Amino acid sequence: MFESAEIGHSIDKDTYEAEVPALREALLEAQYELKQQARFPVIVLINGIEGAGKGETVKLLSEWMDPRLIEVRTFDQQTDEELARPPAWRYWRALPPKGRMGVFFGNWYSQMLQGRVHGEFKDAVLDQAIAGAERLEQMLCDEGALIIKFWFHLSKKQMKARLKALKEDPLHSWRISPLDWQQSQTYDRFVRFGERVLRRTSRDYAPWHVVEGIDPHYRSLAVGRILLESLQAALANSPRKRQGNVAPLGHSIDQKSLLGALDMTLRLDKRDYEEQLVTEQARLAGLLRDKRMRRHALVAVFEGNDAAGKGGAIRRVAAALDPRQYRIVPIAAPTEEERAQPYLWRFWRHIPARGKFTIFDRSWYGRVLVERVEGFCSPADWMRAYGEINDFEEQLSNAGVVVVKFWLAIDQQTQLERFEEREQIPFKRYKITEEDWRNREKWDVYSEAVGDMVDRTSTEIAPWTLVEANDKRWARVKVLRTINQALEAAFARHKK
């Protein structure tokens, strides 16, 4: 894959200086059009051989374009904050918003290549990392991002000649970094595994561009033109409308449903409730103080029918804990900042560090519930979200995060009684809105969406717990007991 980047591409100085002004002007125009349209972000991934001009080229592009609209990020050794979270967390929180460009050095490809070249893991782990990169990029592109991937290349002969020349030049020998010397010893392995990565991850939605780096004039013009052509093509495209060719999920032919199968008569009397509540709260407090919690984080997701008692259940969970141990993240309609990012971005940034607990009052499942039912996204968008969510939760689980998910279910009559009660009690009146009443009219549609959600995202690593919530006491105790059981199971697995 690197043959064309080892033949000595070059551009003479006169040609270079004649072409640069027009290229710079066109790049600036495209950059400002990108900002004005604010339809998609641009993610530029920089990889390749040390000494092939990666840094010099990005520095030049920042001079040619408006640097205020470009954020250059370098992902070196992981910080303690990053090590305490899933590996992808550091990349998600650095994503540029729509209308801006992010340039990533030391990105996910750099990490997997360096790890494999230096024998930190075998091919199977590399292949897992490659598959993860493909899924990430597919999702980002489906969400509208433009991904441009550059591999700056030098032949082995060119690399050695460069190092020799710099070493013998006392004015420029400082430019040789330890990484340059290191890669000169591992060049063959780096290129072999690099070819494997490029072959597996060069896709129509995010192709690789291999640029020979020996001649600065050639590589600068080549990168500038690729960037310009990619921007112009994306800006000229009308907003994508993914409509047809989505297979329907089907309907129950015997009218039975997952929620309809719940026993909504389950309840606790006051004495049993108070006794079990205190027991489970004490159990949770002890588990979160357990030293084994240092290897884990805890995420609890609360979804459910309107007036099902999510707030009350969350309060009983929080009442058992020191406020410094947990954080509650209420999810409402996305803000302007959140709409400028892929939908999972606003959840990735709230993932807790090890030893911490985050409660999501509504969650990423809005994509397959509210957005699906209300038509806020296309069928293609919410259909692919099932797989994206499963992948997200698997990444959390692999990093030691215990994911517990609750659907609090009530029947229609109970909901009506609670709505009417809220309207009559002044301090509860804020809880009821016109939207709540409107949603009752879509009860069956939401129930169908919940059934699909559970069928497609209740996994061994992150199962759904359906909570019979007609009786609030029963629901609160079941929630607490489920969290405790999940933590105890995670501690037991780690011990094994």
- Let me know whether 214 and 333 are in one domain: no
State the residue for tokens 């998609």.
40
The reply to whether 161 falls in a domain is yes
Q: Are 248 and 372 in contact (CB under 8 A)?
A: no
The pLDDT of 96-115, averaged and rounded, is 96
Six token digits for residue 356? 């911490």
Q: Which helix (H) or strand (E) holds 328?
A: strand 326-330
The pLDDT of 322-338, averaged and rounded, is 95
Confidence at 172, pLDDT banded by 50, 70, 90: low
pTM for this model (two decimals)? 0.91
State the residue for tokens 């433009």.
146
- Let me know whether 263 and 158 are in one domain: no
Q: Give the count of domains, the chain.
A: 2
Q: How far is CA 364 from CA 298, 329, 332, 334, 440, in A?
A: 16, 12, 11, 11, 22
Per-residue pLDDT at 84 exceeds 60? yes
State the residue for tokens 């919530």.
469
For 236-240, 421-425, 487-491, which range has the lowest pLDDT when averaged over its residues? 236-240
Per-residue pLDDT at 87 exceeds 80? yes
| Residue-range definition of the domain harbouring residue 478 | 259-495
Average model confidence (pLDDT) for the chain?
92
Within 8 A by CB and 6+ apart from 121, the residues are 115
pLDDT of res. 32: 97
Per-residue pLDDT at 438 exceeds 90? no
Q: Which residues pair with 73 in a beta bridge?
A: 104
The reply to whether 242 falls in a domain is no
The reply to whether 434 falls in a domain is yes
Domain limit, last residue, from 236, 267, 291 = 236
pLDDT of res. 461: 94
The reply to whether 37 falls in a domain is yes
- Let me know whether 130 and 56 are in one domain: yes
The pLDDT of 411-433, averaged and rounded, is 82
Confidence at 248, pLDDT banded by 50, 70, 90: confident
The pLDDT of 319-347, averaged and rounded, is 95
- Let me know whether 372 and 464 are in one domain: yes
The pLDDT of 277-304, averaged and rounded, is 97
The reply to whether 245 falls in a domain is no
The reply to whether 421 falls in a domain is yes
Domain limit, last residue, from 236, 271, 292 = 236
For 45-59, 115-129, 183-197, 420-434, which range has the lowest pLDDT when averaged over its residues? 420-434
Q: Are 127 and 199 in contact (CB under 8 A)?
A: no
- Let me know whether 212 and 113 are in one domain: yes
pLDDT of res. 75: 95
Domain limit, last residue, from 179, 204, 236 = 236
- Let me know whether 225 and 285 are in one domain: no
Per-residue pLDDT at 244 exceeds 70? no
- Let me know whether 224 and 84 are in one domain: yes
- Let me know whether 11 and 141 are in one domain: yes
pLDDT of res. 255: 72
For 17-21, 161-165, 212-216, 303-307, which range has the lowest pLDDT when averaged over its residues? 161-165
The reply to whether 326 falls in a domain is yes
Q: Report the candidate in 257, 318, 285 with the shortest Cα–Cα distance to residue 453.
A: 257
SS3 327: strand
- Let me know whether 97 and 228 are in one domain: yes
CATH number at residue 130: 3.40.50.300
**Distance of alpha carbon 472 from alpha carbon 313, whole angstroms:** 8
pLDDT of res. 254: 73
Of 428 and 103, more confident: 103
- Let me know whether 271 and 338 are in one domain: yes
pLDDT of res. 446: 94
- Let me know whether 283 and 414 are in one domain: yes
The reply to whether 243 falls in a domain is no
Of 424 and 292, more confident: 292
- Let me know whether 104 and 223 are in one domain: yes
